[in-house]
């Protein structure tokens, strides 16, 4: 991975023709250390949010050596880039071949399930192993989340007792409950509420859990989405855990994806054409900007221009734009609004921020596009939950700036007490 001081240096020195993924490993380090310092349990990184080797290596180097994996390819990735780390196979529906390979070839002992059939499958595919950690995935309310993850997986807590009992009987090692409150969860109390539901299911089953896994869902900062401080989420989890019927020795786990990586990547795209307020870019929704099209998220942006073998950042006055990606599909449209200088023109470069989670991970090769080179930089991300952000980008109407200020102020207040 080539290193530059800032994205502007990349524009100045290389004038890249193709989109470039910009990695900020320092942002991953800071987030990894924050979770270890503030979450009172074990932190598993959900690999699907961003499976880049540099992410896995940076996390491992900063103490996150547990990984939530969902496929054999993810298991191989972790084995290669963070050898010796602990993996939990948390996809509730797995192939027999994947279960066997995980157990026998990669030493995976932790598996999730949400029905009796999957429990039987896991026991069968591991040769009746007695040393499994079995995690029962519950479907809980996803009211406060931008993306619900309860529709597809998880057993209704009211139906869960017989499955909890079966899982308890099937292993001499750990039996746990897991859930996911939904991705980009904006309501800290969602965790406590889910833990209450989990606790009731355990009481009805008459079993104790050895592990309570509160899943992912921890938010990041996007324009127009102002999450409460991450400390509030930790408080909610602590309260929820204190109220649960558990042993003294019951372990608390979490599986953050987004919150560990969202800040740590942006993408540098080039304007191929401007038509009024529509900018046609060389990067789009079949590349790294899936959420900009399909969830209509207005990611933060800034503009750089090359002139006379040099490059500079262009600032206000700003106006709203929408983007089109490079493919021929009309779905490849990102409504924004993206606030950029009034005189954007062909050849200008646009850095799109906060694409570290479910951004660089989503890129396809559709229509012959999607080949993205990755470089690293040392400057701060566009926005941060960890007080890292540089001056915000969308200056005049900066919800982003306010968000950052807010989370900083909260961070300070908490540190004092
Ligand atoms: C996707 C996923 C995560 C990560 O979710 P985030 O919202 O990115 O934190 C964690 N656990 C499971 C089981 C998942 O499917």
> Phi and psi for 80 in degrees, rounded to 5?
-75, -40
C-alpha 114 to ligand 1 mean position (Å): 16
Question: Among all chains, which residue has been given the structure tokens 């309501």?
Answer: 187
Taking the C-alpha atoms of residue 166 and residue 153, their distance in angstroms, rounded to an integer, is 18
- Closest residue by CA, ligand 1 atom 10: 216
- Closest residue by CA, ligand 1 atom 15: 91
- Token duo for residue 62: 């900063």
C-alpha 400 to ligand 1 mean position (Å): 24
Among 35, 49, 176, 188, say which to mutate for ligand 1: greatest number of ligand atoms within 8 Å of CB: 49
Atom from ligand 1 closest to the CA of residue 185: 7
Among 48, 70, 139, 187, say which to mutate for ligand 1: greatest number of ligand atoms within 8 Å of CB: 48
Among 216, 295, 360, say which to mutate for ligand 1: greatest number of ligand atoms within 8 Å of CB: 216
Taking the C-alpha atoms of residue 170 and residue 280, their distance in angstroms, rounded to an integer, is 56
Atom from ligand 1 closest to the CA of residue 112: 13
E strand residue ranges, 247-317? 251-254, 265-275, 278-281, 301-307, 310-314
Which residues sit with their C-beta closer than 6 Å to ligand 1?
A: 46, 48-49, 68, 90, 149, 180, 183, 215-218, 255-259, 357
| Strand duo 183-185 + 145-147: pairing | antiparallel
Taking the C-alpha atoms of residue 223 and residue 400, their distance in angstroms, rounded to an integer, is 5
Written as tens digits, the pLDDT of the chain (417 aa) is 999 999 999 999 999 999 999 999 999 999 999 999 999 999 999 999 999 999 999 999 999 999 999 999 999 999 999 999 999 999 999 999 999 999 999 999 999 999 999 999 999 999 999 999 999 999 998 777 777 777 789 999 999 999 999 999 999 999 999 999 999 999 999 999 999 999 999 999 999 999 999 999 999 999 999 899 999 999 999 999 999 988 889 999 999 999 999 999 999 999 999 999 999 999 999 999 999 999 999 999 999 999 988 999 999 899 999 999 999 999 999 999 999 999 999 999 999 999 999 998 999 989 988 888 999 999 999 999 998 764 443 333 344 433 443 344 444 444 433
Q: Under a CB-based contact definition with an 8 Å cutoff, are residues 150 and 194 in contact?
A: no
Which pLDDT score, from 0 to 100, does residue 278 have?
98
Which pLDDT score, from 0 to 100, does residue 389 have?
66
Among 46, 91, 153, say which to mutate for ligand 1: greatest number of ligand atoms within 8 Å of CB: 46
C-alpha 290 to ligand 1 mean position (Å): 17
Atom from ligand 1 closest to the CA of residue 259: 9
- Token duo for residue 120: 């039987």
Among 42, 45, 68, say which to mutate for ligand 1: greatest number of ligand atoms within 8 Å of CB: 68
Q: What is the DSSP string of 116-132?
A: HHHHHHHHHHTTS-SS-
Go through the domains of the chain in sequence order and give each one's CATH number. 3-22+264-377 (2.40.37.10), 25-261 (3.20.20.10)
Count other Cβ atoms within 10 Å, centred on residue 294.
12
Atom from ligand 1 closest to the CA of residue 258: 8
Atom from ligand 1 closest to the CA of residue 357: 8
Atom from ligand 1 closest to the CA of residue 178: 13
Report the DSSP beta bridge partners of residue 352: 267, 301
- pLDDT tens digits, 307-321: 988 999 999 899 999
- pLDDT tens digits, 253-303: 999 999 999 999 999 999 999 999 999 999 999 999 999 999 999 999 999
């Amino acid at each position: 991975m080539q290193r530059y001081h800032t994205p502007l240096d990349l524009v100045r020195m290389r004038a890249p023709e193709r989109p470039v993924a910009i990695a900020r490993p320092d942002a991953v380090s800071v987030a990894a250390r924050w979770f270890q310092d503030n979450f009172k349990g074990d932190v598993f990184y959900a690999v699907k949010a961003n499976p880049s080797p540099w992410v896995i290596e940076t996390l491992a180097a900063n103490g996150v050596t547990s990984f939530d994996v969902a496929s054999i390819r993810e298991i191989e990735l972790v084995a290669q880039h963070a050898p010796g780390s602990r993996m939990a196979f948390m996809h509730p529906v797995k192939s027999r071949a994947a279960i066997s390979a995980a157990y026998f070839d990669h030493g995976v002992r932790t598996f999730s399930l949400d029905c009796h059939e999957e429990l039987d499958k896991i026991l069968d595919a591991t040769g009746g192993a007695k040393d499994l950690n079995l995690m029962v995935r519950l479907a809980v309310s996803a009211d406060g989340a931008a993306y619900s993850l309860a529709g597809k997986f998880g057993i209704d807590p009211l139906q869960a007792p017989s499955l909890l009992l079966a899982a308890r009987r099937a292993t001499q090692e750990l039996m746990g409950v897991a859930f996911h409150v939904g991705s980009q969860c904006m309501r800290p109390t969602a965790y406590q509420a889910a833990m209450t539901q989990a606790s009731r299911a355990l009481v009805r089953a008459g079993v104790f859990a050895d592990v309570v896994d509160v899943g992912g869902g921890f938010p990041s900062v996007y324009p127009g989405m102002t999450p409460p401080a991450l400390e509030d989420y930790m408080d909610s989890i602590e309260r929820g855990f204190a109220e649960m019927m558990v042993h003294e020795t019951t372990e608390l786990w979490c599986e953050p994806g987004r919150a560990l990586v969202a800040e740590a990547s942006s993408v540098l795209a080039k304007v191929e054409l401007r038509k009024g307020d529509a900018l046609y870019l060389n990067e789009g929704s079949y590349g790294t900007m899936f959420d900009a099209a399909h969830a209509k998220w207005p990611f933060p942006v800034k503009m750089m221009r090359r002139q006379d073998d040099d490059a500079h950042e262009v600032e206000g006055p700003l106006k709203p734009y929408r983007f089109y990606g490079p493919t021929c599909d009309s779905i490849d449209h990102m409504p924004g609004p993206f606030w950029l200088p009034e005189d954007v023109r062909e050849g200008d470069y646009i850095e799109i921020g906060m694409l570290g989670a479910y951004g660089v991970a989503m890129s396809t090769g559709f229509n012959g596009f999607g080949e993205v080179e990755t470089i690293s930089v040392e400057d701060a991300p566009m926005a941060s939950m960890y007080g890292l952000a540089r001056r915000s980008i969308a200056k005049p109407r900066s919800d982003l700036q306010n968000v950052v200020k807010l989370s900083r102020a909260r961070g300070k207040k908490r540190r004092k007490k």
